[in-house]
Amino acid sequence: MRNAIYGQSGGVTAVINASACGVIEAARQHSHAIGRVFAARSGIIGVLDEDFTDTTDVSDDAIAALRYTPSGVFGSCRFKLDDPATDNRQFERIVDVFKAHDIGYFFYNGGGDSADTCIKISRFADRVDYPLQAILVPKTIDNDLFGTDTSPGFGSVAKYIAVSTREASFDVRSMSVSSTKVFVFEVMGRHAGWIAAAGALAADEGYDLSIVIIFPEIAFDRSRFTAKVDAMIHRYGYCTVTVAEGAKLADGRFLAEQGHRDAFGHSQLGGAATVVADMLSSTLGCKCHWAVADYLQRSARHVASRTDVDQAYAVGKAAVEMAMAGDNAIMPTIVRTSNDPYTWKIGKVPLTQVANVENVLPRHFISADGFGITNACRMHLLPLIQGEDPPPYDRGLPRYATVQHIGVPKRLEPFKR
Amino acid sequence: MRNAIYGQSGGVTAVINASACGVIEAARQHSHAIGRVFAARSGIIGVLDEDFTDTTDVSDDAIAALRYTPSGVFGSCRFKLDDPATDNRQFERIVDVFKAHDIGYFFYNGGGDSADTCIKISRFADRVDYPLQAILVPKTIDNDLFGTDTSPGFGSVAKYIAVSTREASFDVRSMSVSSTKVFVFEVMGRHAGWIAAAGALAADEGYDLSIVIIFPEIAFDRSRFTAKVDAMIHRYGYCTVTVAEGAKLADGRFLAEQGHRDAFGHSQLGGAATVVADMLSSTLGCKCHWAVADYLQRSARHVASRTDVDQAYAVGKAAVEMAMAGDNAIMPTIVRTSNDPYTWKIGKVPLTQVANVENVLPRHFISADGFGITNACRMHLLPLIQGEDPPPYDRGLPRYATVQHIGVPKRLEPFKR
């Protein structure tokens, strides 16, 4: 019997704690093989710092409450490990920490960057003959993970964006005769337009709304864009523009670059909405409103997709079951077995195929003019936002959970990261 | 038996259609006195243009669905009538239109500016001996209407802001060890800090979250503010800042002025969040994320307050009942009869007391340091966000209603506004 450690990495989501719930509940089902279940505080940083919460004695009810709690309850991180080819001290430390606490199972809950972290740890453990099974529990709102039909976290963001786009389109339509004619809604998505595409779900055969999407995959052309919005305003009286934060000009520059970069070297974006709104008010002379959803979209557990919650839980549970079956350096995936009715099952993919690959929106999911989605895209996305799973409310607000921190005594000297 | 006309004015809300529902359902109960119920398309503009929807033959089910539909289903407007003292042609037109359609009851659904519109129409009708009862159905997300304990529309915005602030605070707390330490959330409120105050409801005895509020009522002092946020980051590791769009410097300038003005001469704001985020990242050197809710906050019917929906419906219904009782130039109000347990009833106030008065957050509702709310404020606000009233969902999205436009034949020549 060996212990397990679970960690959360990268931008958090509305359902990453549902995966934590899946991991911990499944581990409790396998108490013949898994001893204590630790949660690293702030992902791999908590491993380096030997800073864990011991979830073993946390009540079943408290763990169950993670299913409906957004954010990363154990803390997440943006922290890129050194390249072990040039400096392997961090990896030696990780293995030392694992040894000190008899960790046999490492469940890392993240996206493409975390796959890279996970695979490097797995390889290093192999190299030093430390027996470890490292499994990535998939998570990313961007839906750009390779090898899985969808990434847990995305369905709930997509639902939030579709609901918000429908609501805001109703709003601007009300105002458009004498006031605001354009509502610009900036959503996440640096390189992949999956989230932006969800804005188009707000309109369907029952809801003939005026929506234009700006995808990062399509080079932004100012004159074509303003002509499109102008035409939509002439037809409908108003227009909602859902713009991905990563919208780019033909030369690859972001429509709105803030200049900051995160630990992985990614640009930190925000402000595409103001650029678009200013462009439209100056070119078309109409009043524009704009919103930037930022963290709201990925923390909005109150309007999460039930499908997404179920899948987030399922990949957590499957990660443990795969570890029990002897798997290593893999990621459980969502496999779509049918579109209508939508059915899915759990599959798996080697991490070598996942790390550092970005799965963008395929061109045939984007309409010919580049400003909308095709029916194929709609059929692909709609199942992912199905079902509601509201959290319990207490005195008017969602009763989200926290997990009591039960510290684990440190057995090693501090490490200078 | 005379006809009634209902119109929507100013910024729409998540529950203004619940008031429309209240007016129309109550009018149907008084079919002995009220003949047809028209809805002006785009508020007073529809009256001037003689452009109505006849709701009389719209099904009961379609009217009932307005209760859970955000936005202004008949269209709203931002349109200031001329001063009748200098040019009364618009008022003559309005009375001509009312005469042509035998309108005896005018229900106008709006805020302070609409009270002014309503009272001027009432006075002009008196002056020309046209028998008319003009009643304002209160509505404004800003909660700044005089004479009522709260304005329908506010409770749902407050709930959206409190829920979103709680969710985003969980998110930034997760990220704060190695990444984002500050989340800045810009909310509406030009002069009144009621909406911003709702951000503070996210934290309570069960949720010790790190939240700082920037109120428009408190002159913004950069060094005091950055010191406050710095102290909060030292204590909690992160900070959520909820900033009112109308935050002002000591000299009265807006923190973020876009330079546009609407039809009533109000500045059109937006961008305080970026100013605050830039200030904090440059002063404190921490990574900041920011969001601007804009229309999302007032259209978010999916997370509306049940209390607010009930009150919006009740003032619509009461407006009709007051008209039946002979009232004119008044507004039904919400009267709080007890705080704990929260109870309320309907009252009324003359429009002369309502027009063009802004009811800002009282100083004793703001904490001594100016960055939070007092317990008195919390006790005042909490009842307003109680209860959930989710809309029906269909295929993953809220099934909001539209009302079939049944046009009313025009009886007059067109009018040049």
pLDDT of residue B274: 87
Confidence at A270, pLDDT banded by 50, 70, 90? low
Q: Give the burial class of B87: count Cβ atoms within 10 A of its Cβ; 0-12 exposed, 13-18 middle, 19 or more buried.
A: exposed
Residues of A in contact with B385 (CB under 8 A): 396-397
Residues of A in contact with B159 (CB under 8 A): 396-397
Give the integer Cα–Cα distance in Å for B269 and B294.
10
Token code pair at residue B350: 């003359």
Give the integer Cα–Cα distance in Å for A202 and A213.
12
CB-CB under 8 Å, A262 with B287:
yes
Catalytic option among B49, B142, B149, B389: B142
The residue of chain A nearest to residue B199, with distances taken between CA atoms, is: A397
Residues of A in contact with B388 (CB under 8 A): 390, 393
Give the integer Cα–Cα distance in Å for B64 and B57.
13
CB-CB under 8 Å, B289 with A289:
no
CB-CB under 8 Å, B400 with A179:
no
pLDDT of residue B358: 85
CA terminus-to-terminus distance, chain B: 30
Pick from A92-101, A269-278, B120-129: least confident: A269-278
Three-state DSSP class for residue A180:
coil
Q: Which letter does DSSP use for residue A82 in this model?
A: P
Residues of B in contact with A90 (CB under 8 A): none
Phi, psi of A384 (to 5 degrees): -75, -15
Q: Right CATH number for B2-140+302-357+387-398 from 3.40.50.1110, 3.40.50.2300, 3.60.21.10, 3.40.50.450?
A: 3.40.50.450
Q: Is A75 at the interface with chain B, CB within 8 A?
A: yes
Amino acid at A253: R
Give the integer Cα–Cα distance in Å for A99 and A131.
10
Give the integer Cα–Cα distance in Å for A139 and A107.
12
A129 min Cα distance to partner chain B (Å): 31
Residues of B in contact with A393 (CB under 8 A): 388
CB-CB under 8 Å, B172 with A76:
no
Phi, psi of B181 (to 5 degrees): -110, -20
Span A252-266, mean pLDDT? 62
CB-CB under 8 Å, B273 with A292:
yes
CB atoms within 10 A of CB B338: 9
Q: Is A170 at the interface with chain B, CB within 8 A?
A: yes
pLDDT of residue A257: 67
- Please count the CA atoms within 13 angstroms of the CA of A171 that sit on its side-chain side: 31
pLDDT of residue A241: 98
- Please count the CA atoms within 13 angstroms of the CA of B36 that sit on its side-chain side: 17
Three-state DSSP class for residue B367:
coil
The number of angstroms, rounded, from the C-alpha of B174 to the middle of its chain's C-alpha atoms is: 33
Residues of B in contact with A308 (CB under 8 A): none
B193 min Cα distance to partner chain A (Å): 19
- Which of A79, A206, A385 lies closest to B396 in CB terms? A385
- The residue count of chain B comes to 417
Which residue stretches of B176-305 are H helix? 194-199, 222-236, 272-284, 295-299
Which residue stretches of B140-193 are H helix? 154-175
* Contact indicator for B157, B201 with CB cutoff of 8 Å: no
Q: DSSP string covering A183-228, please? A: EEEEE--SS--HHHHHHGGG-BTTB---EEEE-TTS-B-HHHHHHH
* Contact indicator for B128, B121 with CB cutoff of 8 Å: no
pLDDT of residue B262: 45
Residues 247-276 of A with CB under 8 A from B: 260, 262-263, 268, 270-271, 273-274
pLDDT at A255 over 90: no
In the residue annotation, B230 being an active-site residue is answered as no
Residue appearing with tokens 């972290």: A117
Token code pair at residue B275: 């100013």
Residues 278-307 of B with CB under 8 A from A: 281, 287, 289-296, 298-303, 305
Best CA proximity match to A137, nearest among A334, A383, A385: A334
CB atoms within 10 A of CB A337: 10
CB-CB under 8 Å, B397 with A385:
yes
Q: Is A84 at the interface with chain B, CB within 8 A?
A: no
CB-CB under 8 Å, A291 with B292:
yes
The residue of chain A nearest to residue B158, with distances taken between CA atoms, is: A396
A326 min Cα distance to partner chain B (Å): 31
Instruction: Give the residue extent of every domain in chain A.
Output: 2-140+302-356+388-398, 154-300
pLDDT of residue A274: 87
pLDDT at A395 over 70: yes
Residues of A in contact with B291 (CB under 8 A): 291-296
Q: Is A395 at the interface with chain B, CB within 8 A?
A: yes
- Which of A171, A299, A385 lies closest to B299 in CB terms? A171
Residues B352, B355, B358: CA angle, nearest 5 degrees: 130
Q: Give the burial class of A265: count Cβ atoms within 10 A of its Cβ; 0-12 exposed, 13-18 middle, 19 or more buried.
A: exposed
Residues of B in contact with A9 (CB under 8 A): none
Which CATH class name applies to A2-140+302-356+388-398? alpha beta
CB-CB under 8 Å, B178 with A263:
yes
Residues of A in contact with B303 (CB under 8 A): 302-303
Tell me what percent of the residues of chain A surpass a pLDDT of 70. 97
**Rg (Cα) of chain A, in Å, rounded?**
22
How confident is the prediction along chain B (417 residues), in pLDDT tens digits per residue? 999 999 999 999 999 999 999 999 999 999 999 999 999 999 999 999 999 999 999 999 999 999 999 999 999 999 999 999 999 999 999 999 999 999 999 999 999 999 999 999 999 999 999 999 999 999 999 999 999 999 999 999 999 999 999 999 999 999 999 999 999 999 999 999 999 999 999 999 999 999 999 999 999 999 999 999 999 999 999 999 999 999 999 999 898 764 344 455 555 455 899 889 989 998 999 999 999 999 999 999 999 999 999 999 999 999 999 999 999 999 999 999 999 899 999 999 999 999 778 899 999 999 999 999 999 999 999 999 999 999 999 999 999 999 999 999 999 999 998
Span A129-148, mean pLDDT? 97
The residue of chain B nearest to residue A386, with distances taken between CA atoms, is: B396
pLDDT, tens only, A161-211: 999 999 999 999 999 999 999 999 999 999 999 999 999 999 999 999 999
Amino acid at A362: P
- Which of B75, B291, B294 lies closest to A174 in CB terms? B75
- Which of B78, B386, B396 lies closest to A179 in CB terms? B78
* Contact indicator for B159, B265 with CB cutoff of 8 Å: no
B35 min Cα distance to partner chain A (Å): 26
**Rg (Cα) of chain B, in Å, rounded?**
22
CATH 3.40.50.720 fits B154-300, yes or no: no
* Contact indicator for B234, B275 with CB cutoff of 8 Å: no
- Which of B166, B260, B382 lies closest to A400 in CB terms? B166
pLDDT at A266 over 90: no
Three-state DSSP class for residue B349:
strand
Residues B182, A190, A317: CA angle, nearest 5 degrees: 80
Best CA proximity match to B114, nearest among B191, B45, B194: B45
Give the integer Cα–Cα distance in Å for B110 and B116.
10
pLDDT at A263 over 90: no
Residues 324-363 of B with CB under 8 A from A: none
Average pLDDT along chain A: 95
CB-CB under 8 Å, B268 with A287:
yes
CA terminus-to-terminus distance, chain A: 30
CB-CB under 8 Å, A167 with B299:
yes
Q: Is B168 at the interface with chain A, CB within 8 A?
A: yes
pLDDT of residue A265: 55
Starting at the earlier edge strand, list the strands of the sheet with B239-244: A211-214, A239-244, A182-187, A288-292, B288-292, B182-187, B239-244, B211-214
pLDDT of residue A260: 40
Q: Between A and B, how many residue pairs show a Cβ–Cβ distance under 8 A?
A: 227
Give the integer Cα–Cα distance in Å for A276 and A282.
10
Probe site for chain A from B302, B378, B388, B405 (most A CB atoms < 10 A): B302
Q: At what angle do helices B306-324 and B16-29 cross, to 10 degrees?
A: 40
Q: Which letter does DSSP use for residue A10 in this model?
A: S
Phi, psi of A33 (to 5 degrees): -115, -30
- The distance between the two most distant Cα atoms of chain B, rounded to a whole number of Å, is 72
CB atoms within 10 A of CB B406: 14
